[in-house]
């Protein structure tokens, strides 16, 4: 899968199902209705039945096509929707209008939730016209300041999702502001260490190189100018960012200046978790939903 | 000045002069020759006369148009070129092929250099087609991990350069990964403090707001969705980044994915300092030179 349109094709006709916690408001439901109309997924809506019906009507959605589970309490609805995914009745969990903390607590509930051995982390799929193929960015949204061990889990989560995309042995660039190891900058140390762990087979299913600058991660010409002899440099499939601060600024720079399409997803649980942002446009919301349905 | 072409118009015909330390190699001289042919500046070339003449020949430059100052030692050539700018014989200092540390030491030399009361900092001018006007990014290249006081100096340097661009009272967004103050993230604290200092008139000639996400700094729609009532949000002229790590990844994300033109400059000295990168293409090199000649 190298483009969002290929991703949509993969998901179509698979009869996927979303469990959505507290889907209130027109905007939230419009995205679900669009997914349904495009044959991507049906949704089980969990929360206050009255509010849900009102939202479906506001959005002009085909009410009879939705299953509603009445669970009006904030935590109650979140737990119920998580358990629908944990039990296999739905394929992905989606956050509606409720507090992120309550939602994630339910998603990670030991008994009913999607907790796995790993850490939850965030991935962005970015299709920029100038790059011409999907690249993955992680983690620019979830683990604020990951340490080395966290970064290993973030990479493992990324590799697992990459395999769903059919990316065999993905090339992972641990990016920083320079491609040299600088003892004063932890990001460059972690990047070099991850690269070393990759060479020793301690991180499997991928090839990691770092530190790499973003230029020499993405551009074969920039890599050649710097004389980098690397399987990853210039051809990165995955950009591992140092932390959320730098990763968020990097990803948003692409989102707001490039001709591009993108979506985001929380991975690392037993099933994907979709958390849309109010600021996302309709295309981004749908891309994110489809990422969760793969 | 809202575009690079306006910037070129401003500089043309002003008979500016560059002093270049150790301009060896075809690539370096080609940029100088292009600046000369376009009527932007003449150059005084400082370094080993034989190497300089060889480089001029390699680049097919008009040798008779260049003044050569023979100063073959690395430090000697750097100091001599800095002193040409300090004395007013040249308007901007440019680094050729020598160690950055030696070059900057000479540039900051107490007696012969360009040291002022401020800190040297780096600015990028970015003209992305989707933004439609120049924005300034600082500091994504010089002060690795600035503290609050450093950030005040970085802002003062930016405001000084903005005034050369004719940007009256520029809007400065102190960006982070969120637009809220998070006690765990120093970048958001500094941003809020700079914003407070701006409101109290402690930082003059500009309006600062922060923390702002990159989305709500650049996009009025994103700012409106988040309900930000701010003179800066959605209309930032200057993006103050938290540190070089995050700023470099942000700036390179634009450079390598957006349809854009850009250049960089070191400011904060008595005169501008131009430091090109090997990875810069010809247009970027020329943009950077012109930034130094304004």
DSSP string, A57-125: HHTT--GGG-EEEE--SHHHHHHHHHHHHHTTSSSEEEE-SS-HHHHHHHHT-TTTS---SS--EEEEE
pLDDT of residue B85: 98
Nearest to A246 among B218, B249, B254 (CB): B249
pLDDT at B209: 98
Do A71 and A46 contact (CB within 8 A), yes or no? yes
What's the gap in Å between the CA of A26 and the closest CA on chain B? 15
Q: What is the C-alpha to C-alpha distance for residues A95 and A292, in angstroms, rounded to an integer?
A: 12
Task: Of B45, B3, B5, give the one whose Cα is nearest residue B28.
Answer: B45
Tell me the C-alpha to C-alpha distance, in Å, between residue B21 and each of A225, A260, A280, B18, B96: 22, 41, 49, 10, 5
pLDDT exceeds cutoff 90 at A218? yes
Are A174 and A148 spatial neighbours (Cβ–Cβ below 8 Å)?
Answer: no
Tell whether the model's pLDDT for residue B254 goes beyond 90. Answer: yes
pLDDT band at B127 (very low <50, low <70, confident <90, very high): very high
Among candidates B145, B213, B258 on the partner chain, residue whose Cβ is nearest the Cβ of A252:
B213
ipTM over 0.90: yes
Q: Do A257 and B128 touch (CB under 8 A)?
A: yes
Alpha-carbon span B121 to B268, nearest angstrom: 6
Question: In angstroms, rounded to a whole number, what is the distance separating the alpha carbons of residues B119 and B267?
Answer: 8
Report pLDDT for A115: 94
Structure confidence at residue A126 (pLDDT): 98
pLDDT at A254: 98
Percent of chain B topping pLDDT 70: 100
The pLDDT tens digits of the residues spanning A107-147 come to 999 999 999 989 999 999 999 999 999 999 999 999 999 99
B249: closest CA of chain A, how far (Å): 5
Q: Residue B253 and residue A253: Cβ atoms within 8 Å?
A: yes
| pLDDT bucket at B213, cuts 50 / 70 / 90 | very high
User: What's the confidence (pLDDT) of residue B28?
Assistant: 84
When pLDDT is cut at 50, 70 and 90, the band that residue A70 belongs to is very high
pLDDT at A17: 98
Q: How many CB pairs under 8 A join A and B?
A: 134
Minimum Cα–Cα distance from A216: chain B residue: B279
Global pTM value: 0.96
- Three-state SS annotation for A138-192: ECCCCCCCCCHHHHHHHHHHHHHHHHHCCCCCCEEEEECCCCCCCCCCHHHHHHH
Q: Is A186 on the interface with B (CB under 8 A)?
A: no
Mean pLDDT across chain B, nearest whole number?
A: 96
Residue found under tokens 């700012």: B223
* Cα–Cα distance, A132 to B21 (Å, whole number): 40
Please write the tens of the pLDDT for every residue from B128-153: 999 999 999 999 999 999 999 999 99
Q: Which of residues 210-249 of B touch A (CB under 8 A)?
A: 213-216, 218-219, 222, 225-226, 241-242, 244-249
CB contact under 8 A, A258 and B254: yes
Residue-level pLDDT at B236: 98
Q: What is the mean pLDDT of chain A?
A: 96
Q: Does residue A7 register a pLDDT over 90?
A: yes
The predicted structure's pLDDT at residue A268: 97
| Nearest residue to A28 (alpha-carbon basis) of A61, A64, A50 | A61
Q: Which residues of A touch B133 (CB under 8 A)?
A: none
**Mutation target vs A (from B140, B177, B241; most A CBs, 10 A cutoff):** B177
Distances (CA, A) of A232 to A169, A221, B245, B289: 11, 13, 20, 33
* Residue B66 confidence (pLDDT): 97
Rounded Cα gap, residues A45 and B219, in angstroms: 32
Tokens in use for A22?
């507290």
User: In angstroms, rounded to a whole number, what is the distance separating the alpha carbons of residues B177 and B186?
Assistant: 11
Taking contacts as CB-CB distances below 8 angstroms, the residues of chain B near A223 are none
Q: Tell me the mean pLDDT in the region A75-101.
A: 97
User: What is the Cα–Cα distance from B114 to A28, expressed in whole angstroms?
Assistant: 57
pLDDT at A117: 86
């Amino acid at each position: 899968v190298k483009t969002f349109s290929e991703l949509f094709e993969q998901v179509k006709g698979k009869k996927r199902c979303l469990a959505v916690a507290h889907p209130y408001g027109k905007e939230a439901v419009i995205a679900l209705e669009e997914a349904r109309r495009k044959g991507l997924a049906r949704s089980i809506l969990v929360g206050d039945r009255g509010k849900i019906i009102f939202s479906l009507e506001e959005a002009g959605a085909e009410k009879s096509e939705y299953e509603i589970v009445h669970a009006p309490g904030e935590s109650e609805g979140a737990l119920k929707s998580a358990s629908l995914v944990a039990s296999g009745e739905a394929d992905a969990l989606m956050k509606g209008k409720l507090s992120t903390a309550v939602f994630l607590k339910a998603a990670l509930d030991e008994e009913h939730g999607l907790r796995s051995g790993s850490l939850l982390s965030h991935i962005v799929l970015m299709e920029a016209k100038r790059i011409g193929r999907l690249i993955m960015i992680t983690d620019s949204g979830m683990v604020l300041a990951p340490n080395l061990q966290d970064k290993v889990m973030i990479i493992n989560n990324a590799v697992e999702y990459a395999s769903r995309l059919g990316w065999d042995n993905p090339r992972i660039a641990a990016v920083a502001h320079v491609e040299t190891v600088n003892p004063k900058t932890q990001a460059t140390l972690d990047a070099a260490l991850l690269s070393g762990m990759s060479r020793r087979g301690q991180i499997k299913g991928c090839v990691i190189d770092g530190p790499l600058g973003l230029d020499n991660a993405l551009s074969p010409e920039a890599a050649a100018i710097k004389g980098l002899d690397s399987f990853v440099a210039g051809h990165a499939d995955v950009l591992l960012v140092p932390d959320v601060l730098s990763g968020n600024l990097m990803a948003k720079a692409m989102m707001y200046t490039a001709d591009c399409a993108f979506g985001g997803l929380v991975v690392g649980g037993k099933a994907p978790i979709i958390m849309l942002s109010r600021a996302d446009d309709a295309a981004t919301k749908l891309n994110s939903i489809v990422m969760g349905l793969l």
